[in-house]
Amino acid sequence: MLHLYRSPLVNESRIERACQLARRIFPDLQQRVVGIQNGTLPSQECKGPGIVFQRVAPPPRGGWQRGPFRTRIWDRSVADTFQGWNLAAISAHSWGVLPLAARLARGAGAALLYEPHELESHTAHTPGWLRWLARWTENRLIKRCDAVVVVSDSIADWYAKTYDIPRPVVVRNMPALPVGGVPPADRRLWRDRFEIPEDHIIFIYQGGLFPGRRIEQLILVFARAKPDRHVVFMGYGELEELVRAAAQRHPNIHFAPAVKPDEVLRHTAGADVGLVGVEKVCLSYYYSLPNKLFEYLMAGIPALMPAYPEMVRVAGTSACGWTVGERHEDWLAVVNGLDADAVTAAKRRARAAVAANSWEMEQKKLLAVYLSLPGFGSLSQQEFPV
């Protein structure tokens, strides 16, 4: 099976989990995930038995080899490499590689999957002409796909209506439960580090400190919040200096550098409420269901999140957090209005919500997609452990 995603393949946990799932069910299946070589990572990286991440170098920059030309040369290099391979299925993980995936699938007689990681034609950094090209490409090729898998119900509805296709399968991008279970919460972790009193409420934002993540708004909110409401920004990014400066000015705003992936949950669990910072800068964000929300639940803390359709759905189903409007005043009112009893009750609901909101549940839907593919019919199968 071939996965195509024009990225350096650095933190592609969703693709890796999908590969591991397929390998468990089809023990003889060899999988190759193909991305771009950025000069610092190995050209091939083994991620487990039968799972290889392969990075193909684009041509050097300069001259006529720019933009679309570099893309076409990369496509040709990938096509030349895998032409003639015995491929059961090819999965395109973005609209940009969908034409290449369709050509390879047609030549190999393989099943074709389309698994976009967001609403591809309405992202924050896609200019108007590129949005048009994404829509044109999807409209031309999506009906050739044997299966389409998306990350939220709102995005599934959009694809079904826009392209007049059967509703795509929804496999939400949720983290897997850690081996050995979630580490116990260390309530003293942040309180000792920043000298926060026991009866104060600690909010945490963990992730990238970038524009479009509501960082500036959260700083303004906590600068005006009650003094017993603290926020910890744990992460890195171009707005790090802005956060550090705010932490110098306000005793209830704190900065902590990013930690190793296996330490994230323990640090998150040391807070009381998680903050989901996605902003409505594009339709893809508005329809999104951020992975951070489920990391908060897995850490046993409720989330404060914008009132976007998918997050409203999760909060309404499990009562594991609070949704809020766009204005600073809306966020400030909820931050100031929470009390210890409300937070404690929401923590219990957050822990209970994990069972229905983890990769262990979502993978069953992806498994059903794999089992339906014509190219997988001849592969030996193992029973899926429930």
Same-domain check for residues 143 and 85 = yes
| DSSP 8-state class, residue 82 | H
Q: Are residues 309 and 335 in the same domain?
A: yes
At what angle are helices 128-141 and 153-163 packed, to 10 degrees? 70
Q: Name residues whose C-beta falls within 8 Å of residue 242's C-beta, 6 or more positions apart in sequence.
A: 209, 215, 216, 219
Residue closest to 273 by CA, chosen among 239, 313, 308, 324: 324
228 and 100, same structural domain? no
Instruction: State how far the Cα of 163 lies from the Cα of 165, in Å rounded to an integer.
Output: 6
Would you tell me how many other CB atoms lie within 10 Å of the CB of residue 13? 13
Interval 291-340: pLDDT, tens: 899 999 999 999 999 999 999 999 888 888 999 999 999 999 999 999 99
If phi > 0 it is left, if psi is from -120 to 50 it is alpha, else beta; for residue 194 that is: alpha
Give the Cα separation of 66 and 206 in Å (integer): 36
- Find the helix or strand (DSSP H, E) in which 239 lies: none
Regarding whether 136 and 218 lie in a shared domain, the answer is no
- Each of the 386 residues of the chain gets a pLDDT tens digit; together they read 999 999 999 888 899 999 999 988 888 889 999 999 887 889 999 999 999 999 998 765 544 344 556 688 889 999 999 988 889 999 999 999 999 999 999 999 999 999 999 999 999 887 888 899 999 999 999 999 999 999 999 999 999 999 999 999 999 988 887 776 666 777 789 999 999 999 999 999 999 999 989 999 999 999 999 999 999 999 999 999 999 999 999 999 999 999 988 888 889 999 999 999 999 999 999 999 998 999 999 999 999 999 999 999 998 888 889 999 999 999 999 999 999 999 999 999 998 888 788 888 899 999 999 989 887 766 666 655 54
Are 104 and 16 in contact by the 8 Å Cβ rule? The answer is no
In a domain, 181, yes or no: no
Q: What DSSP character marks residue 263?
A: G
Q: SS3 of 231, please?
A: strand
| Host domain of residue 270 | 188-357
The span from the CA of 201 to the CA of 199, in Å, is: 7
Give the N- to C-terminal CA distance of the chain in Å, as an integer.
24
Neighbours of 304 (CB within 10 A): 23
Decide: pTM greater than 0.85: yes
- The reply to whether 386 falls in a domain is no
Phi then psi for residue 218, to 5 deg, are -65, -35
Q: How far is CA 33 from the centre of its chain?
A: 17
For the chain, the domain total comes to 2
Sheet with 273-275, strands from edge to edge, namely 253-257, 229-236, 201-208, 273-275, 303-306, 321-324
70 and 127 belong to one structural domain: yes
Q: Which residues pair with 164 in a beta bridge?
A: none
Average pLDDT of the residues of the chain: 90
- Residue 269 covered by a domain: yes
Whether residue 179 lies inside any domain: the answer is no
| Residues 353, 364 within the same domain | no
**Residue at 108: amino acid letter:** A
Q: Are residues 28 and 14 in the same domain?
A: yes
- In angstroms, the CA 173 to CA 282 distance is 19
The total number of residues shown for the chain amounts to: 386
Instruction: Specify whether 371 is located in the same domain as 285.
Output: no
Q: Quick one: 341 and 234 in the same domain? A: yes
Check which CATH number belongs to the domain holding 366 and give it: 3.40.50.2000
Backbone dihedral region for residue 13 (phi beyond 0: left; psi -120 to 50: alpha; all else: beta): alpha
Residue 3 contacts residue 19 (beta carbons within 8 Å): yes
What one-character DSSP code corresponds to residue 3? E
Query: How far is the C-alpha of 302 from the C-alpha of 210, rounded, in Å?
Result: 23
Q: List phi, psi (to 5°) of 11.
A: -125, 50
Positive or negative CA dihedral for 117, 122, 126, 129? positive
